[in-house]
Amino acid sequence: MEAVYRAPMRSRTADAPPGSGADYGVTHGVVGIGDTAEARIDRFAAVPDGAFVWTRDSDGTYWVGRIAGPVRTAARDAAGLSHVRPADWLDRPFGELDVPADVAATFARGGRNFQRTHGEAVERRTAELWRAARS
């Protein structure tokens, strides 16, 4: 199974509105972080291509994508993303009841960190949603 990550795409320094980074990322085909800490950037860069990533946009809907390339420095925009990677996002969002429960729980806790969401159930459900939407 492929690893699953939570990507709130929020700046640690800018006062960007919640979801603005996800709006930007889904529109521009990237996943990003607002971190400038070298250790966090290195962890983000080490996530393998093909890993699943969930984000939540400014409307509160969820998007799932797959990381599809290396990290690069980004010009800080209104979303405050400092580092991005190419991502292949599905063409449709998901509601709260559609996403794996562990994904919804990680977003409900808040926070700005890009982090792995562990568990066989979340990996299996994410892969099922991906396959169903791509067929």
Domain with residue 108: its CATH number is 3.10.590.10
Residue 64 lies in a domain: yes
3-state helix, strand, coil in the chain (%, to 5): 30, 25, 45
Q: Which one-letter DSSP state was computed for residue 29? A: T
- Tell me the pLDDT of the chain (135 aa) as tens digits: 789 999 999 876 667 788 888 999 999 999 999 888 899 999 999 999 999 999 999 999 999 999 999 999 877 666 788 899 999 999 999 999 999 999 999 999 987 889 999 999 999 999 999 999 998
Classify residue 135: in a domain, yes or no. Answer: no
Residue 89 and residue 25: Cα distance in Å, rounded? 9
* Number of domains present in the structure of the chain: 1
* Residue 17 is assigned to a structural domain of this protein: yes
This prediction has a pTM of 0.94
- Residue 85, domain member (yes or no): yes
3-state SS assignment for residue 103: helix
Domain encompassing residue 95: 4-130
Name residues whose C-beta falls within 8 Å of residue 114's C-beta, 6 or more positions apart in sequence.
5, 6, 7, 8, 33, 35, 40, 43, 44
Q: At what angle do helices 120-134 and 101-108 cross, to 10 degrees?
A: 110
